[in-house]
């Protein structure tokens, strides 16, 4: 009996060599197809302005060598005569490797779409970029959860009981860690609803600062004083939040008082003086000025105007210019600003001798 006629595990050596040769040929063909397609898509991507070929290039590049080896061995094994047990094991291994490879392809596609959208939106809308990243993470988590369930089902595990058990266990974990889960869901609410994004200047109760980081449990602000403020996401959403970054205009209300000794004819021109001063300012819309009330130590006026910009430094520059011009004009007109004073009247009664 020649070597080729010897039998190993129910197949002659010649059959084994044919199976190995077939597996090698299939592997070489698949490997060459991958290389050629990668080179073609790379050339197309360099010349094209669309991202479809870039997506295909990224997905194809995620093809694992182990997957090509398993496919080649699986195809070559069909030349052999094997027991049902071995064939069943081979089918399961092929199924598991194929499902995992498909998951790698889909996951790479998700990463590519996320990266492209984040780069495009980051400059214009940081909130959308953050939302896309979180949704991408959730999508990949669901993808690998499905892959795990498919693998377990293929291996004969009763996934219905498993899912039910995980559900009961999930309820127990949720009850034990409800504060952490509350912050987690609050984080998702912040990302999806976008009451603020990184870079916004917000006020929470009496604390204020610029948003630096939105995490899964906490949000961090950098205050005007330089220290970092850390808020629990759950507590943050329960608070009243003022977002100054989204302010389109700034409505300004300020008051001043003049002395009671100011003549009535001077009081009548104060409105016109203040109105002229405010109208001359750039990026300002005048609203009103009124003699509001007779105070304890001053005749009080109230002024309202709008700055057509949300920049705080611009508002302060405008208010400073208004104040300086009011001081100059009032001095020219002989109008005095009031300051807290009290007048004491002493009554003298005559003494009888």
Domain presence at residue 179: no
CA distance 237 to 284: 34
Q: Which range of residues forms the domain containing residue 193? A: 187-246
For residues 59 and 192, state if they share a domain.
Answer: no
Domain presence at residue 343: no
Domain presence at residue 307: yes
Span of 55-64, 96-105, 131-140, 333-342 with lowest mean pLDDT: 131-140
Element (H, E) at 170: helix 159-176
Residue 249 and residue 306 in contact, taking contact as beta carbons nearer than 8 Å: yes
Instruction: Summarize the confidence of residues 99-103 as an average pLDDT.
Output: 93
Domain presence at residue 340: no
For residues 258 and 221, state if they share a domain.
Answer: no
For residues 107 and 221, state if they share a domain.
Answer: no
More confident: 164 or 224: 224
Alpha carbons within 13 angstroms on the beta-carbon side of residue 298 total: 16
Element (H, E) at 300: strand 299-307
Instruction: State the CATH number of the domain containing residue 283.
Output: 3.30.70.100
Instruction: Summarize the confidence of residues 43-53 as an average pLDDT.
Output: 78
Domain presence at residue 165: no
Span of 44-58, 117-131, 185-199, 254-268 with lowest mean pLDDT: 117-131
Nearest partner of 302 among 270, 329, 333, 324, judged by Cα: 270
Instruction: State the CATH number of the domain containing residue 196.
Output: 2.30.30.60
Residue 178 and residue 185 in contact, taking contact as beta carbons nearer than 8 Å: no
pLDDT, tens digit, 9 for 90 and up, residues 290-335: 999 998 889 999 999 999 998 889 999 999 999 999 999 999 999 9
For residues 271 and 310, state if they share a domain.
Answer: yes
Nearest partner of 50 among 109, 132, 111, 116, judged by Cα: 116
Q: What local confidence, expressed as pLDDT, does residue 251 receive?
A: 93
pLDDT band, residue 43 (cuts 50/70/90): confident
For residues 131 and 197, state if they share a domain.
Answer: no
Domain presence at residue 225: yes
For residues 229 and 321, state if they share a domain.
Answer: no
More confident: 47 or 92: 92
Computed over every residue of the chain, the mean pLDDT equals 84
For residues 268 and 135, state if they share a domain.
Answer: no
For the cut 70, the answer to whether the pLDDT of residue 48 exceeds it is: yes
For the cut 70, the answer to whether the pLDDT of residue 126 exceeds it is: no
Domain presence at residue 344: no
CA distance 337 to 353: 48
For the cut 70, the answer to whether the pLDDT of residue 250 exceeds it is: yes
State the total domains in the chain: 3
For the cut 80, the answer to whether the pLDDT of residue 118 exceeds it is: no
For residues 279 and 317, state if they share a domain.
Answer: yes
pLDDT, tens digit, 9 for 90 and up, residues 257-283: 999 999 999 998 999 999 999 999 999
Which tokens belong to 275?
A: 């109105």
| Range with the largest mean pLDDT of 107-111, 123-127, 213-217 | 107-111
Q: What local confidence, expressed as pLDDT, does residue 164 receive?
A: 65
Question: pLDDT exceeding 70 applies to what percent of the chain?
Answer: 86
Question: pLDDT exceeding 90 applies to what percent of the chain?
Answer: 39
Q: What local confidence, expressed as pLDDT, does residue 266 receive?
A: 92
Domain presence at residue 276: yes
For residues 95 and 69, state if they share a domain.
Answer: yes
For residues 277 and 319, state if they share a domain.
Answer: yes
CA distance 333 to 336: 9
For residues 195 and 229, state if they share a domain.
Answer: yes
Q: What local confidence, expressed as pLDDT, does residue 129 receive?
A: 61
For residues 143 and 11, state if they share a domain.
Answer: yes
Residue 284 and residue 307 in contact, taking contact as beta carbons nearer than 8 Å: yes
Instruction: Summarize the confidence of residues 192-214 as an average pLDDT.
Output: 86
- Using a CB cutoff of 8 Å and minimum separation of 24, what contacts does 213-220 make? 214/130, 214/187, 214/190, 215/187, 216/183, 216/184, 216/187, 217/180, 217/183, 217/184, 217/187, 218/183, 219/190
More confident: 202 or 158: 202
| Range with the largest mean pLDDT of 88-97, 234-243, 321-330, 333-342 | 321-330
């Amino acid at each position: 009996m020649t070597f080729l006629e010897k039998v190993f595990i129910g197949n002659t050596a010649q059959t084994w060599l044919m199976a190995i040769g077939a597996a090698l040929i299939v592997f070489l063909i698949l490997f060459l197809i991958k290389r050629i397609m990668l080179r073609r898509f790379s050339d197309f991507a360099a010349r094209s302005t669309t991202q479809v070929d870039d997506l295909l290039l990224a997905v194809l590049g995620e093809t694992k060598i182990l997957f090509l080896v398993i496919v080649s061995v699986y195809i070559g094994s069909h030349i052999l005569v094997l027991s049902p047990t071995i064939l069943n094991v081979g089918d399961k291994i092929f199924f598991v490797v194929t499902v995992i490879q498909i998951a790698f392809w889909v996951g790479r596609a998700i990463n590519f779409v996320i990266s492209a959208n984040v780069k495009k939106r980051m400059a214009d809308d940081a909130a959308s970029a953050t939302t896309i990243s979180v949704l991408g993470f959730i999508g990949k988590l669901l993808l690998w959860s499905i892959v795990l369930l498919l693998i377990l089902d293929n291996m004969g595990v009763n996934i219905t009981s498993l899912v039910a058990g995980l559900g009961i266990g999930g309820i127990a974990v949720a009850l034990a860690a409800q504060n952490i889960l509350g912050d987690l869901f609050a984080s998702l609410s912040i990302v999806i609803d976008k009451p603020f994004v990184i870079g916004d200047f917000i006020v929470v109760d009496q604390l204020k600062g610029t948003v630096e980081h939105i995490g899964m449990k906490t949000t961090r602000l950098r205050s005007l004083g330089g220290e970092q403020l850390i808020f629990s996401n759950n507590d943050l959403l329960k608070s009243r939040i003022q977002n100054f970054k989204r302010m389109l205009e700034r409505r300004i209300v300020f008051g001043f008082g003049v002395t009671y000794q100011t003549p009535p004819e001077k009081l009548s021109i104060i409105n016109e003086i203040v109105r002229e001063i405010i109208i001359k300012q750039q990026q300002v819309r005048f609203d009103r000025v009124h003699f509001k009330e007779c105070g304890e130590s001053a005749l009080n006026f109230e002024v309202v105007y709008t700055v057509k910009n949300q920049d705080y430094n611009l508002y302060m520059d405008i208010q400073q210019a208004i104040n300086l011009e009011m001081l100059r004009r009032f001095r020219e007109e002989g109008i005095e600003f009031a300051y807290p004073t009290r007048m004491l009247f002493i009554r003298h009664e005559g003494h009888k001798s």
